[in-house]
Amino acid sequence: MPIVVKDFSWEENESHVFITVPLKGVKANKVDIFSSDEYLKVSYPPYIFECLLFAPVDDRKSSASVGNGMVLFKLVKKQAAIWTQLQSNDSSDKVVMREKREEAIRLAQERAAEAVKEAAEKKREADKYAVQEMMKLEQEEKQKIEDLKEAERRKATEELERWKQEQRDEAEKERARLLAEKEENDRLRMEEEKQKNRVNKEKKKVAKSGDIFYETARGVPTRSAGKIEVKFTERVFPTPVRESQTPQEEEWLKKQAEARKVIELEDVDLTEEEKNPLWLRDKGNSFFKSGDYQAAINAFSHAIRLDSKMPALFSNRGACHLKLRNFIKCVEDCSKALELLTPPVPQNAPSRCKAHVRRGTAFCELELYVEGLQDYEAALKICPDSEQLKQDAENIRQIIQSS
């Protein structure tokens, strides 16, 4: 039987109660303290101190400290008043004491469970916030990349327009040169005609006079023979708007950029098969079936660098990321696959359904259940007879309703 401690002391004022319980030589690390709004217990074998308080206190604001051979309670009264006695009149009733003890234990357990639930809720909110911030950062990084691509596209377009303007300026200069050359030839031809007319007049005068030396005698010099060189330049005219080749030129520039990208990826150590996107896709599928998801991601990523227009590469890489719990990357790859699977036709319906299901699963793993349900409903529109999809969509709805 434990020894009940009775040599405790207590003091009070209108707002606080101070209780001092001696430890009687027992070490502080062997003291067990339990308290509630109406009940106090200090156990340090073979001694025990129990107290059913005269009035309720605020257990959350109260405190207990162990040291200097004693336990000191500082209790905050719920209602300011002078008690005049520490223990309740029911302290001597064992049944009441047992009930109060059990009630205090139950309240303490409920409070502990509530604290655990609050901590779990805070952790869940913190994790969700971290995921959202990560997605925001990745979205900002993606936007930066898109801005760089747009800047490069604008730069290429400006260079093309500048080259076209240079061609138009050169054509204008050439037209001006040809016009000046034509005017000069016309002037020389007119002077030549005038010279011929003068010579013909002089010849007629000689013929009339009958003196073949008349022209020399008159001191008129004869015209020496000469040769005029005329050069012809191909005429260049600007392309009319109705015959503009701008779309074809932009497509050509895009193909040239992709060709340069492929050239940059060339490696003398790679075989011809390893340069084939279809072979790499099949290789990635083989790795996926064997459970080597990281190797499958490497194969799909290399294939995407060679050909970024194959939606199956992005969708299959998204499945690998889903297996490795890289949920955000799974969402990005499946979204890219759905962008490439346009327009929606019956031939690409199975691929679109898989991409929606994978992205919806990743959203649910990120606890973004509304977005996940939207993807599952889109998959159901493509495959309305799938019982598994119907069951999964209903489970997500129940989760949303319960939360």
Asked if residue 239 and residue 153 are part of one domain, the reply reads yes
**pLDDT digits (tens), the chain, 403 positions:** 788 888 899 999 999 999 999 988 888 888 888 888 888 888 888 888 888 888 899 988 889 999 888 999 999 998 899 988 888 887 778 888 788 888 888 888 888 888 888 888 999 999 999 999 999 999 999 999 999 999 998 888 898 888 889 888 988 898 899 999 889 988 888 888 888 888 777 766 655 554 444 444 444 455 566 667 777 665 444 555 555 666 776 776 666 666 555 544 555 456 777 788 999 999 999 999 999 999 999 999 999 998 889 999 999 999 999 999 999 999 999 999 999 999 999 999 999 999 999 999 999 999 999 999 999 999 999 999 999 999 999 999 999 998 7
Bridge partner residues of 41 (DSSP): 34, 50
CA dist list (Å): 35 to 10, 83, 167: 16, 19, 92
Closest CA to 181 of 225, 229, 227, 226: 229
How far apart, in whole angstroms, are the C-alpha atoms of residue 196 and residue 239?
Answer: 44
Across 13-106, the runs of DSSP E, i.e. the strands, are 16-22, 32-35, 39-44, 47-52, 63-67, 70-76
Question: What is the domain range of residue 59?
Answer: 3-92
Residue the block writes with tokens 């040239």? 256
- What helix, strand, coil percent values describe the chain, rounded to 5? 65, 10, 25
Among residues 311, 306, 313, 268, the alpha carbon closest in space to that of 288 is found at 313
Question: At residue 161, what are phi and psi to the nearest 5 degrees?
Answer: -65, -40
Whether residues 303 and 382 share a domain: the answer is: yes
Q: 392: which 2 tokens?
A: 């999964």
Q: How far apart are CA 132 and CA 310, in angstroms?
A: 29
For residue 205, is it within any domain?
yes
Tell whether 178 and 220 lie within a shared domain: yes
Give the Cβ contact number of residue 286 at 10 Å. 13
pTM of the model: 0.38
CATH code of residue 7? 2.60.40.790
**123 lies in some domain:** no
DSSP 8-state symbol, 95: H
Do 75 and 194 fall within a single domain?
Answer: no
